[in-house]
Amino acid sequence: MQRHPVAATALVVAPALALGAGSALFAQERAHSRVLAATLDDVRAARDAAETESERARREAETARLTLDFFVGTFTPTSVSGASGSGTTVDDVLAHGEKGVEGQLAGDPRSKARVYTVLARLFAMRKAYPRALELYDKALLMWRSEDASEVAPYVASTMNELGATLDTMGRTEEACARFREALALWPAG
Radius of gyration, alpha carbons of the chain:
33
CA pair distance 171, 123, nearest whole angstrom: 17
Name the nearest CA neighbour of 136 among 168, 113, 110. 113
CA 34 vs CA 2, 26, 86, 112: distances in Å: 47, 12, 77, 50
Predicted TM-score (pTM) of this structure: 0.62
pLDDT per position in the chain (189 positions), as tens?
A: 457 676 666 666 666 666 666 677 777 788 778 877 777 677 777 777 677 677 767 777 777 766 666 665 666 655 555 544 566 777 777 777 777 777 777 788 888 899 899 999 989 999 999 999 999 999 999 999 988 888 889 999 999 999 999 999 999 999 999 999 999 988 775
Estimate the crossing angle of helix 109-125 against helix 5-74, to 10 degrees. Answer: 50
